[in-house]
Structure 1
């Protein structure tokens, strides 16, 4: 009994090792997806930095626009005041000419040298002139040009940042689309092969389901099985033998999509009944036409499908190997 328990424990460990080897390929695919996620995160970080810089420039542009508007208002006020002063000067000149004409009628052709109140008038005019001159910003034109140049440069920089932002967003969308395309293409290929292999072995159905179709990269994948005359169930909830069939089918489906020239299977038929073991052996024999396959087994139904059988036995503590080719034996008997 202890020997049988030890053998069962060994077989269970070997089966776990076999299943882990199938998980290696899944981890490889997950690593590729993780690399794409990291690249996407880097691009998103660059986009955030560009967006922060764009917001900073927009704030500066807003401040410059406010300054420009204030300068425009100041220039408009000064221009109106200058226009009013010019009109006043024209009116004064007209009045002077009119008064000179009237004085000429009365015989006063020479300008008067002095009259009462002229000093107060000159003082008042001088004060008004100084007051008006103080209100005029002589640097307004220069400041306006500098502000306009700064505004133009920032506008060009903003347009450039918007173009770069659009390119980054477009690139991210392309990467996301390509990542999804690669994943779904691989998923669909493995799903088709899984359906075919599982049907050949059991006559039932097996398929892959994405846990959350709206978030394929953030959710898991279920391996669903439906054995003949049974309800559909997730592979982790079925019996030990059914798990073996599901695992073998899944491994063969992956290998069909990503083939290798050489395969090694260690007692994958240990938990299979005779019918399923023979079907798995027949399927491996079919696959052996395109690749070299070595399978370790202790079952006659499994070994009967082999092209060449190597037996290992021990004599006095020394392992011996014997070679046997069933196909040659069958041909000789016939």
Structure 2
């Protein structure tokens, strides 16, 4: 009986446990469904929050951009007002009233001049056209940039430059006048040089032929201009042909012949343009007796019009002198000068 009672109690407990377990399962399923619904609602709320956050960020960015744009627009308006006041000297109200879109645009000065030139009436003001006026303003700015910045000292600088220009113009005219005078003087000097040189050359050429014939009997010598058409740049060639020779160039003559030719040229110059006195330094050193005698004949001819100082070691030259001056060294090593007048002795 006890066992039966225990068994009955156990069965009752099992039934109650099964009932509790079934009820717990039902409650668990309900709770699971409730959790699933809550999670879905939570996901939906989070999605709406994210969307709202993104919309808030977008609206915040737009507000920030609008504020920046308004600040930039306000700064631009202030800058334009300042530029209008600084460059044009008018305030914003006057600028809008006289030059705003509501005001008619008068004709340009070029249009007025063209109408007056053609004899037509002056064009009437036209309504404001932003594109046209922007092109007109851009052209005016280009023209203004071409003119450059305004120089407040331009008048003073112009006056100074004008004075400087006048001074330089005067100096230039003086220089031109001086240049003309100098060219005239140069031309006159050139003409004088031409005349003097031509006359001197003709005289020397004539005398050279005579002197050469005296020093070289039977020979022929002459002076030739290398450029006869340009006397200022011409050279002079000496043609010498001693008797019995066909050569004319000085380089083909002997030493004595070249010396005599040079003496002939010097004597020709002396006779063409005489001088009060001459100094000859051993001009006959390389001459033989025959040529020396011919040279002394020329010296005798020159002494009739000029005084000659001749340095020589030739006795024949000393014999024709009026006075001799000898330089010798005495026994004590001191140089002494001895003089003697020969013509007075011969006269005595």
Q: TM-score band (shorter)? A: 0.3 to 0.5
- Normalised TM-score (structure 1): 0.45
Greater RCO (CA < 8 Å, at least 6 residues apart): 1
The structure with the larger Rg is: 2
